[in-house]
Structure 1
Amino acid sequence: MKNTLRLRFVFSYLIIALLTLILLNTYGHSAIYNKLVEYEKSKLYEEAELIAREYMPSISIRDTVDITLLKHFSALETLTNMRVWIVSPDGNIQMDSNLENSCHGENINEYDAAFLSYQSVVGEHPKGLMDDNMISVIYPITESLNTNGYLVLMSPASALNSSATNYIDSIVICGFIILSILFVIFISLYRRTVTPLKGMTAAVRAYANGRFDYRMEKMPCHEQTELADAICYLAEQMNGLNEYQKNFIANVSHDFRSPLTSIKGYTEALADGTIPAEMQEKYFNIILFETERLTKLTGNLLELNQLDHGSLVLEQENFDINDAIKKTSASFEQRCLDKHVSLDLIFDQKELMAYGDTGKIQQVIQNLLDNAIKFSPQDSVIKIHTLQKNHKIFVSIKDYGIGIPKESQKKIWNRFYKTDVSRGKDKTGTGLGLSITKEIIDAHGENINVISTEGVGTEFIFTLPSAKI
Structure 2
Amino acid sequence: MKAVLHLKFIVLYIIFGFLCVFTTATLTTELITERLEKDTSQTLYREATMIADNYLPSYFSNESSSWAVHSQLSAMKTYLNSSLWFVEKDGTMITSANLKDTTAPQSVNNFDPAEIGSNQYMIGTYHNYFQEDMITVMAPVTQGFYTKGYLIIHSPVSLINERCRTLMVPVYISLGVIFLLSFIFLLGFHFFVHRPLFLITEAAKQYAMGNLDYEIPVNRHDEIGYLSASLNYMATQLKDSDDYQKKIVANVSHDFRSPLTSIRGYVEAMADGTIPPELHEKYLNIILFETERLTDLTTDLLTLNEFDTKELLLNKTSFDIQEMIKHTAQSFEGVCTQKHISIKLFLLSEQINVMADRRKIQQVLYNLLDNAIKFSENDSSITVEVTTKNDKIFVSVKDHGIGISRKEINKIWERFYKSDLSRGKDKKGTGLGLSIVKEIIQAHDEHINVISTEGVGTEFIFSLSKA
- TM-score when normalising by structure 1: 0.68
Partners in 1 of 2:460 and 2:367 — Cα distance?
Answer: 11
SS of structure 2 residue aligned to 1:383:
strand
Q: Which residue does 1:351 correspond to in 2?
A: 352
- Superposition deviation, residue 367 in structure 1: 2.0
Is this contact kept in 1: 2:251–2:416, CA < 8 A? yes
SS of structure 1 residue aligned to 2:416:
coil
Partners in 2 of 1:236 and 1:107 — Cα distance?
Answer: 92
Partners in 2 of 1:360 and 1:401 — Cα distance?
Answer: 26
Q: For structure 2, which runs of at least 5 residues remain unmatched after alignment?
A: 98-102, 142-148
Higher mean displacement: 48-57 or 199-208: 199-208
Q: Which residue does 1:427 correspond to in 2?
A: 427
Judged with a 3 Å threshold, the aligned counterparts in structure 2 of structure 1 residues 123 and 16 are, in CA distance, closer, same or farther, namely: farther
Q: Which residue does 1:284 correspond to in 2?
A: 284
Partners in 2 of 1:196 and 1:162 — Cα distance?
Answer: 50
Is this contact kept in 2: 1:401–1:458, CA < 8 A? yes
Is this contact kept in 1: 2:116–2:122, CA < 8 A? no
Q: Which residue does 2:20 correspond to in 1?
A: 23
Note if 1:12 corresponds to 2:9. Answer: yes
Is this contact kept in 2: 1:405–1:454, CA < 8 A? yes
Partners in 2 of 1:60 and 1:357 — Cα distance?
Answer: 120
Q: How does 1:162-311 map to 2 (within 5 A)?
A: 167=168, 171=172, 244-308=244-308, 311=309
Q: Summarize deviations over 1:27-69 as a string: whole Å, max 9, x none.
A: 3221133124334544554566567668844554995798445
Judged with a 3 Å threshold, the aligned counterparts in structure 2 of structure 1 residues 21 and 209 are, in CA distance, closer, same or farther, namely: closer
Partners in 1 of 2:94 and 2:394 — Cα distance?
Answer: 114
Q: Which residue does 2:100 correspond to in 1?
A: none
Q: Which residue does 2:396 correspond to in 1?
A: 396
Is this contact kept in 2: 1:37–1:135, CA < 8 A? no
Is this contact kept in 1: 2:96–2:104, CA < 8 A? yes
Q: Summarize deviations over 1:191-222 as a string: whole Å, max 9, x none.
A: 9986997899699869968796x999x88988
Judged with a 3 Å threshold, the aligned counterparts in structure 2 of structure 1 residues 59 and 211 are, in CA distance, closer, same or farther, namely: closer
SS of structure 2 residue aligned to 1:319:
strand
Is this contact kept in 1: 2:392–2:463, CA < 8 A? yes
SS of structure 1 residue aligned to 2:422:
helix
Is this contact kept in 2: 1:28–1:168, CA < 8 A? no
Q: For structure 1, which runs of at least 5 residues remain unmatched after alignment?
A: 142-148
Is this contact kept in 1: 2:321–2:352, CA < 8 A? no
Is this contact kept in 2: 1:139–1:150, CA < 8 A? yes
Partners in 2 of 1:95 and 1:105 — Cα distance?
Answer: 18
Partners in 1 of 2:374 and 2:432 — Cα distance?
Answer: 15
Note if 1:319 corresponds to 2:317. Answer: yes
- Superposition deviation, residue 463 in structure 1: 3.8
Q: Which residue does 1:415 correspond to in 2?
A: 415
Partners in 2 of 1:427 and 1:239 — Cα distance?
Answer: 31
Judged with a 3 Å threshold, the aligned counterparts in structure 2 of structure 1 residues 456 and 173 are, in CA distance, closer, same or farther, namely: closer
The two structures, once aligned, show a CA RMSD in angstroms of: 5.7
Higher mean displacement: 391-400 or 401-410: 391-400
Judged with a 3 Å threshold, the aligned counterparts in structure 2 of structure 1 residues 112 and 32 are, in CA distance, closer, same or farther, namely: closer
Partners in 1 of 2:322 and 2:107 — Cα distance?
Answer: 121
Q: Which residue does 2:327 correspond to in 1?
A: 330
- AA in 2 matched with 1:383: V
Is this contact kept in 2: 1:368–1:434, CA < 8 A? yes
Identity of aligned residues (%): 36
Partners in 2 of 1:464 and 1:4 — Cα distance?
Answer: 56
Report the structure number with the largest CA radius of gyration: 2
- Superposition deviation, residue 24 in structure 1: 2.9
Judged with a 3 Å threshold, the aligned counterparts in structure 2 of structure 1 residues 101 and 330 are, in CA distance, closer, same or farther, namely: farther
Q: Which residue does 2:382 correspond to in 1?
A: 381
Partners in 1 of 2:106 and 2:246 — Cα distance?
Answer: 104
Partners in 1 of 2:26 and 2:300 — Cα distance?
Answer: 80
- Superposition deviation, residue 343 in structure 1: 4.7
- Superposition deviation, residue 271 in structure 1: 2.7
Q: Summarize deviations over 1:56-95 as a string: whole Å, max 9, x none.
A: 445549957984456654775688565669999xxxx999
Is this contact kept in 2: 1:21–1:172, CA < 8 A? no
Higher mean displacement: 50-59 or 428-437: 50-59
Partners in 2 of 1:36 and 1:431 — Cα distance?
Answer: 91
Q: Summarize deviations over 1:218-247 as a string: whole Å, max 9, x none.
A: 889889999888787677666655654554
Q: Summarize deviations over 1:406-448 as a string: whole Å, max 9, x none.
A: 2210111122111222111112210011122223334444432
Is this contact kept in 2: 1:9–1:186, CA < 8 A? no
Judged with a 3 Å threshold, the aligned counterparts in structure 2 of structure 1 residues 21 and 334 are, in CA distance, closer, same or farther, namely: closer
Partners in 1 of 2:108 and 2:218 — Cα distance?
Answer: 78
SS of structure 2 residue aligned to 1:421:
coil
Judged with a 3 Å threshold, the aligned counterparts in structure 2 of structure 1 residues 257 and 14 are, in CA distance, closer, same or farther, namely: closer
Q: Which residue does 1:144 correspond to in 2?
A: none
Partners in 2 of 1:342 and 1:15 — Cα distance?
Answer: 83
Higher mean displacement: 68-77 or 415-424: 68-77
Q: How does 1:116-127 map to 2 (within 5 A)?
A: none
SS of structure 1 residue aligned to 2:424:
helix
SS of structure 2 residue aligned to 1:462:
strand
Q: Which residue does 1:35 correspond to in 2?
A: 32
Q: Which residue does 2:440 correspond to in 1?
A: 440
Q: Summarize deviations over 1:271-327 as a string: whole Å, max 9, x none.
A: 34454555433433322221121122122223334434xx2233346533x635633
Q: Summarize deviations over 1:135-172 as a string: whole Å, max 9, x none.
A: 6889999xxxxxxx999977565764677579589949
Is this contact kept in 1: 2:69–2:95, CA < 8 A? no
Partners in 2 of 1:86 and 1:346 — Cα distance?
Answer: 130
- AA in 2 matched with 1:380: S
- AA in 1 matched with 2:300: N
Higher mean displacement: 286-295 or 266-275: 266-275
Partners in 2 of 1:78 and 1:8 — Cα distance?
Answer: 62
- Superposition deviation, residue 450 in structure 1: 1.0
Partners in 1 of 2:165 and 2:302 — Cα distance?
Answer: 82
Higher mean displacement: 199-208 or 46-55: 199-208
